[in-house]
Amino acid sequence: MALRELPSSLRRMALRDARPTAAIASKCLRRYASGEAVAAAPARGEVPEDFRDLESESSLFTAFSPDEKIKAYDPIKRTQARKRELPPSRYQYRSPRYYRGPLHPHQPPPKSDPSSREFIPGPFSYTRLEQTYQSTIAPDLMTLAYVHKPPGTVTIPKSDRLRTWDDSSPYHKGRPKRGPRGPGETLRLIEQDINWRNIPKIEEVTVHSYIKGALEDSAYLHVAGMLLLSVTGVRPTVHKARHSEGRFGLRKGTPVSLTCNMRGEQAYDFVDKCINLVFPRIKDWPGIAGTTGDSSGNISFGFTREGAILFPEVEINYDMYPPKMIPGFHVTIKTTATSDRHARMLLTALGVPFYGKLID
Amino acid sequence: MASTHNSIRQMVSPLLRRFQSLSLHAQNTSKPSLRPFSTSPTLLAKPERKRTGDPRVTLIRYHLQHPATPRPLKFSRMRALRHWTIHRAWQLFRRKKLGAEELELQRMYQSMHETMEVLRTMDAPGTKDAGRLYRVALEKKGIFGKGGVPVEYARLQTDTPGKEAWDHSWTR
């Protein structure tokens, strides 16, 4: 009975002595490591001398026989049991090119799906700056700007910032509320107290360069594009002049400027490069102007031609670019902070010095 | 065997002959013609356009316009499934990591909150210096000004930190 309970291969091994060894060798020339292990394994319970010191739970003692799995795998049977035929193996799902609304039967997959057209692979690395931010800077900023609200504090609701319509016309029904008064006025962001969910962090970095020489010669634009591409790792977008401007020699429709948008690891990498490699090497650099910022958490600064040369990607093959065509560029760091002072606090913690009067 | 060979040869031979004649003819007539096709004098011919501009710019233009994007990946069913599985596992791993980081921050925040509550209710009202510690702990003096965060704070983490943490003897 005991013999029958053991797996088939084990049984074979048990009966091994009765047969001539040569016959077995001719039968199965293949060598299975697991089979040998089974052969080495004695019956359950008793442990041989050599294995006494080892742990009792070991893969050497498990009586695993590959035969059962192999027998259970019957592709023909599986194929016949299938109700519908599978699509051919080369078939690839392609998400629809256009989004045709929520009621259309063909819905595109989510952006995180590799088959989506908007899928962006990555991140491929966990940058040093991001790691430091996550482990050190974020908790410290949270502690630094902690505002205590005792339990039971009554918050007085503020009046609505958007103006409502007086219901003088039946068409006012269902209209969205009106913005603030005055031409070009928009609602400003309100600074929120920092808590564990809204610690300011770098969201996006935009590099922008206006190339003056591109008005006469497109070579300036192409060289600048190559330089920005190598510095940021993102292919720049070309922008055309929107208006003719005689004083600058601008004609409407002339391609004049380039921008690159970086997010995630690329943005962190770029900021890291700026802070640790480029800023310390710029001659007589006072820091970033304290007056920068658009009062909603975006900080801008610029690199001159000399600063652009200091980037390691440019420096390493400086000869690739005609020297007089190397451009300077502007950098805008967009943070999740909703006020300049919070954004500045984040950048200071990352190691960016500010000079002059600080303006919020 | 021999008969078939002969027949094939008979079939092919006219072709062969023709090819031989053609190649011979080509050899005979391949002399360079001395007289130009045009009858106008050579002086009036347009000079060959010289390449102007920097060769570096040409090279940059070539590389900017060269379509380096490979065709999209095409996988068989099983291979696509394997990729999909790995992708899902990676997404799950990232999600868990982000969640753990956020939970850790929340835990810190809550412990700060509890500490502040203890400080606030420590002293009986009316005693001397009641709530002084609470007040001092919540002071925000100078954190948004210059030097709110010292420059020395901004040191990124490294796998192998230097033996000497800060070189105090260094001068410009």
ipTM of the complex: 0.72
Interval A110-155: pLDDT, tens: 988 888 888 888 888 899 999 999 999 999 999 999 999 999 999 9
Q: Which of A143, A196, A353 sits opposite B151 (nearest CB)?
A: A353
Phi, psi of B25 (to 5 degrees): -60, -45
Q: Which of A112, A128, A276 sits opposite B157 (nearest CB)?
A: A128
- Per-residue pLDDT tens, chain A, 360 aa: give them: 344 444 444 444 444 444 444 444 444 455 555 555 555 555 556 777 777 776 666 666 666 677 888 888 888 898 889 898 887 777 778 889 899 999 999 999 998 888 888 888 888 889 999 999 999 999 999 999 999 999 999 999 988 899 999 889 999 999 999 988 888 888 999 999 999 999 999 999 999 999 999 999 999 999 999 999 999 999 999 999 999 999 988 999 999 999 999 999 999 999 999 999 999 999 999 999 999 999 999 999 999 999 999 999 999 999 999 999 999 999 999 999 999 999 999 999 999 999 999 998
Which chain B residues touch A353 with a CB distance below 8 Å?
A: 151
3-state class (DSSP) for residue A207: strand
Residue with tokens 């943490």: B165
Which chain A residues touch B117 with a CB distance below 8 Å?
A: 150-151
CB A202 within 8 Å of CB A333: yes
Q: Indicate the pTM of the whole model.
A: 0.73
Q: What's the count of helices (H) and strands (E) in chain B, helices before strands?
A: 4, 0
Which chain B residues touch A197 with a CB distance below 8 Å?
A: 102
Q: Which of A129, A225, A325 sits opposite B156 (nearest CB)?
A: A129
In angstroms, the Cα distances linking B133 to B107, B111, B119 are 22, 17, 7
Domains of chain A: residue spans and CATH: 2-81 (no CATH), 202-355 (3.30.1440.10)
Among positive and negative, which fits the CA dihedral A187, A188, A191, A197? positive
Indicate yes or no: CB of B113 within 8 angstroms of CB of A112: no
Interval A304-332: pLDDT, tens: 999 999 999 999 999 999 999 999 999 99
3-state class (DSSP) for residue A264: helix
Indicate yes or no: CB of A148 within 8 angstroms of CB of B113: yes
List, as own/partner pairs, every contact residues A192-198 make where C-beta atoms lie below 8 angstroms and the sequence separation is at least 24, other chains included. A192/A338, A193/A145, A193/A147, A194/A141, A194/A142, A194/A145, A194/A146, A194/A147, A194/A342, A195/A142, A195/B109, A196/A142, A196/B102, A196/B105, A196/B106, A196/B108, A196/B109, A197/B102, A198/A336
Which chain B residues touch A225 with a CB distance below 8 Å?
A: 64
CB A8 within 8 Å of CB A64: no
